[in-house]
């Protein structure tokens, strides 16, 4: 009778969750929470801001304890990052990888909804300082995740800049750079085996800045335009981001990975820049990010992959005053450091009334995320087994 009761409980309460593969991205819209600044809101204020904006998917570039603790119990889904500087050690030593995963991922699950680990960022296509360590680090981190029975919960990826491509226009002509192929091919083979997507940092802003004479700014901003045609595929493109994504799909197909999905892990537009960055204006930034939201809300694919819904993380949540480089690098934020909006694309700022905060809290408690449900289910299961094992 005890066995029957336990089996009945499993099929009624646990079976629906037993074979669920948790995705690293819910919906189509996410955001990058960079923190290269000394004037940003505290992580708990960031949680309030994200909830008010109804942004669930978040990427950070490390595994900061204060952030992961504050995200606990919020339902926000986060991808943590293994910084480029850690790749050598993690690649060389599986135990090092295991310790990193235990300390920075396992220690926070399931209360903090960690959905993925990004191994490095834009490692390939530039200097080869870390290129030789990327695959080893990816494999060792995945092995650690797998041994900890987290491979159906935490997705392993790495993000690439467009510097990995030899040519991106027309999209169908895109292939990987010769000096990248030796690293990219085995990486893609492994990602294909474990079901990871190809992560692309795609910036129409940078493409336009590089070649304003040949790229219509309306085409880059999702505004009405003649667009562009691909002479090989005969496909028409009405915006530059779709063309950049399809260029990645073409390169993947050329390399033998036609079925691999492309996810945009960074895209955005600077609201302020240097004298030679005339396209970096508040108006252009507002236009790009507003139209990007509308584009993603349509939940449609690209001309080359119409069935693959475009999903993207916007760069970035805040302006970051300590980022090196041109002025534009410090002005990609949808929000200013005080939590107010940089420009209006429909998101509320950080300042909200106590009544608004209470309403958000009630809504969060009403919407049970997988992480929260998982904790509740385990508690229920334990209690049930204790009762019926007597």
Domain extent listing, the chain: 29-343
Q: Note the pLDDT of residue 350.
A: 82
For residue 300, with 0-12 CB atoms within 10 Å meaning exposed, 13-18 middle and 19 or more buried, which class applies? middle
State yes or no: is 122 an active-site residue.
yes
Per-residue pLDDT reduced to its tens digit, 307-344:
999 999 999 999 999 999 999 999 999 999 999 999 99
Q: Point out the residues of the chain with pLDDT beneath 70.
A: 1-23, 351-390
Class (C level, CATH) for 29-343: alpha beta
Residue 193 to residues 137, 152, 188, 261: CA-CA distances in angstroms? 16, 14, 9, 13
Task: Give the active site residue among 45, 70, 77, 122.
Answer: 122
- Catalytically annotated residue among 70, 77, 266, 320: 266
- By the 8 A CB rule, do 240 and 215 touch? yes
Which residue in 36, 146, 30, 40 sits closest to 77, CA to CA?
Answer: 30
pLDDT of residue 366: 35
H/E run at residue 46: helix 43-53
What confidence score (pLDDT) does residue 9 get? Answer: 39
- The predicted structure's pLDDT at residue 371: 52
CB neighbour list of residue 340: distance below 8 Å, 6 or more residues apart: 349, 350, 351
Known active-site residue 329: no
Q: Which helix (DSSP H) or strand (DSSP E) does residue 262 occupy?
A: strand 262-267
Cα diameter, the chain: 79
pLDDT of the residue at 230: 97
- What is d(CA 216, CA 223) in angstroms, rounded to the nearest whole number? 10
Instruction: Please give the Cα distance from 317 to 232 (Å, whole number).
Output: 38
3-class DSSP assignment, residue 201: strand
**Residue given tokens 């229920």 in the structure block:** 380
339: cis peptide before it, omega within 30°?
Answer: no
What mean pLDDT value characterizes the chain? 88
The model's pTM: 0.85
């Amino acid at each position: 009778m005890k066995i029957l009761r336990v089996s009945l409980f499993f099929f009624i309460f646990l079976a629906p969750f037993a074979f669920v593969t948790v995705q690293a991205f819910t919906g189509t819209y996410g955001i990058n929470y960079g923190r290269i600044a000394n004037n940003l809101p505290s992580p708990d204020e960031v949680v309030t801001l994200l909830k008010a904006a109804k942004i669930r998917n978040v990427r950070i570039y490390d595994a900061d304890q204060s952030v992961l603790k504050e995200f606990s119990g919020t339902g926000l889904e986060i991808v943590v990052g293994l910084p480029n500087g850690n790749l050598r050690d993690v690649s060389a030593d599986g135990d090092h990888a295991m310790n990193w995963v235990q300390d920075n991922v396992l220690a926070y699950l399931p209360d903090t909804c960690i959905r993925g680990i990004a191994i490095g960022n834009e490692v390939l296509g530039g200097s080869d300082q870390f290129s030789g360590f990327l695959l080893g680090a990816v494999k060792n981190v995945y092995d650690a995740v797998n041994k900890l029975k987290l491979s159906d919960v935490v997705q392993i990826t790495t993000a690439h800049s467009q510097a990995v491509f030899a040519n991106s226009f027309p999209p169908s002509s895109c292939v990987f750079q010769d000096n990248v192929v030796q690293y990219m091919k085995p990486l893609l083979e492994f990602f294909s085996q474990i079901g990871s997507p190809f992560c692309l940092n795609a910036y129409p802003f940078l493409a336009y800045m590089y070649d304003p004479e040949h790229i219509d700014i309306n085409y880059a901003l999702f505004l009405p335009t003649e667009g562009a045609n691909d002479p090989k595929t005969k496909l028409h493109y009405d915006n530059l981001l779709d063309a950049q994504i399809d260029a990645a799909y073409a390169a993947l197909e050329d390399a033998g990975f036609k079925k691999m999905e492309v996810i945009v892990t960074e895209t955005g537009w600077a609201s302020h820049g240097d004298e030679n960055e005339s396209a970096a204006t508040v108006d252009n930034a507002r236009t790009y990010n507003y139209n990007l939201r509308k584009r993603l809300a349509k939940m449609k694919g690209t001309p080359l992959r119409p069935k693959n819904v475009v999903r993207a993380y916007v760069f970035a949540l805040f302006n970051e005053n300590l980022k090196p480089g041109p002025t534009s690098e410090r002005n990609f934020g949808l929000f200013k450091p005080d939590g107010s909006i940089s420009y209006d694309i429909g998101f509320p700022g950080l300042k909200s009334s106590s009544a608004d905060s209470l309403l958000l809290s009630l809504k969060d408690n009403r919407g049970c995320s997988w992480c929260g449900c998982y904790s509740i289910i385990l508690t229920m299961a334990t209690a049930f087994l204790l009762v019926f094992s007597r």
